[in-house]
Copies of this chain bind each other. A is one copy, B any other.
Amino acid sequence: MDAYVVGAGQSAFGSFPDESYRSLFETAYTQAAESAGLVPSTLSDRVDEAVVGTLGVGGRQIGLSGPAVTEHVGLDGVPCTRVENACGAGGFAVRSAVQAVKSGMADLVLAGGVEVMTDTSADTTKWWLGVSGETAWERLSGTTFAGVYAQMASAYFDAYDADPEAMARVAVKNHANGARNPKAHLGFECTLADARDAPTVADPLNLYHCCPTSDGAAVVLVASETAAAEFDDAVRVAGVGAASDRVGLFERDTYTSIPASRTAAEAAYEAADIGPDQIDLAEVHDCFAIAELLAYEDLGFCAPGAAPDLIERGVTDRDGDRPVNTSGGLKSKGHPIGATGVGQVVEAFDQLTGRAGDRQVADVGRALTHNVGGSGGAAVVHVLEADR
């Protein structure tokens, strides 16, 4: 049984001291309903089930954090499952919604994600993210997520004797895209010099190689084939793949690839019966610039070591052969943990249905989303196809 995305919406991502996780979720919910041609107040009568991805809304509600947001939009009564896989929470929430539909136990499922991260001290956020990585040794040694990805970057540029300027190119591209996205957290352009010469965060990563922490929410509606027939637009979930791995980077055999991404992508391609060449557009998990380069390789967009060349040739630019992160990605659009993976599907839906405004890419028939938890302890990939 196929599953379809029939509506998608999100709040702006950014720093919103006057909003709460509930108000942000309501904004995403309202826009998802309207995108599906529904009056928001009637959506609660239609939804059979909800899945919410969040890291405990940034510590504000660490238990029952799913029902705590869905009740606010009138979904009290509807079964709600909170799903968490660190930064991959949102993508896994969408996957669970797809399973719920395919199981025959639900016809219309809300998959949402939400996080509020900017109203606490940097130390609190660092702690909160720290206990989402490997807690026994990485955290004990004081290694932050930037530190973990810095190790991957060091290993990568060393292994391939490549120029770290490739990471600056990721930033330039994603900021150029985000500047066209009114919902982006850091919606401004930057130059190659800006992105190359910024202050160091964790060598070799500098400020422009790191995504921000953000507030935000995103919601998509996943429908069975029967239910989807009632909606004007429906995007088919052609394939889903997921994998886990050792939570600690130091436990893995490679630092120059995220094996969970590779396994998840292979499974998604197999389910969709396609190869990576048949992907027109992708939203990938660029929490740090090195992560986007690894994603190119792990998703099969190029051979190992060839990512710097791919971005330098402009292949992944918005007007390139295979645009990546047209939304601005985590780097420019922002990274409100639980909302991120759902927001990727929002961008894919918008691109596949011609709703992407100034960012619209022509002739997008098939899009991929790629969401990673931690430094690769979990990964999930969706392949989405325009159906009509």
**A residues touching B (Cβ–Cβ < 8 Å)?**
1, 49-50, 55-56, 59-68, 70-71, 75-86, 92, 95-96, 98-105, 128-129, 131-135, 240, 242-247, 251, 259-260, 263-264, 373-374, 377-378, 380
Contact = CB atoms under 8 A, between A and B. Distances in A.
Nearest 8 pairs of A and B residues by beta carbon = A63-B132, A102-B103, A79-B242, A63-B86, A99-B103, A67-B244, A80-B244, A103-B103
Nearest to A245: B76
Given A102-B102, A103-B103, 4 more contacts: A64-B378, A67-B247, A68-B377, A81-B95
Contact of A105 (B56, B240, B380): B240
Contacts of A245: 67, 71, 76-77
B103 A63 contact: no
A114 to B, nearest CB: 14
A377 B75 CA distance: 12
A77 B243 CA distance: 5
B105 A263 contact: no
A246 B103 CA distance: 27
B247 A131 contact: no
Contacts of A60: 131, 135
A62 B104 CA distance: 31
A101 B49 CA distance: 17
B82 A83 contact: yes
A80 B101 CA distance: 19
B84 A65 contact: yes
A140 to B, nearest CB: 13
> Main SS of chain A's interface residues?
mixed
B105 A105 contact: no
> Which of A80, A84, A380 has the most C-beta atoms of chain B within 10 angstroms of its own C-beta?
A84
A376 to B, nearest CB: 10
B131 A61 contact: yes
A244 B75 contact: yes
9 contacts: A63-B131, A67-B85, A77-B243, A78-B244, A79-B378, A81-B85, A81-B96, A99-B100, A102-B102
Given A61-B135, A247-B67, A81 B79 contact: no
A63 B102 contact: no
Contact of A76 (B80, B86, B244): B244
A63 B78 contact: no
A174 B138 CA distance: 43
A80 B378 contact: yes
Contacts of A78: 243-244
Contact of A62 (B62, B76, B99): B62
Nearest to A62: B131
Contacts of A131: 56, 59-63
A64 B373 contact: yes
A23 to B, nearest CB: 13
Given A84-B82, A96-B81, A243-B79, A64 B104 contact: no
B244 A63 contact: no
A67 B373 contact: yes
Contacts of A102: 102-105
Contacts of A132: 61-64
Nearest to A22: B136
Contacts of A81: 83, 85, 92, 95-96, 242
Contacts of A64: 84-86, 132-133, 247, 373-374, 377-378
Contacts of A80: 85, 244, 378
Contacts of A77: 243-245, 259-260, 263
Contacts of A63: 55, 84-86, 129, 131-133, 373-374
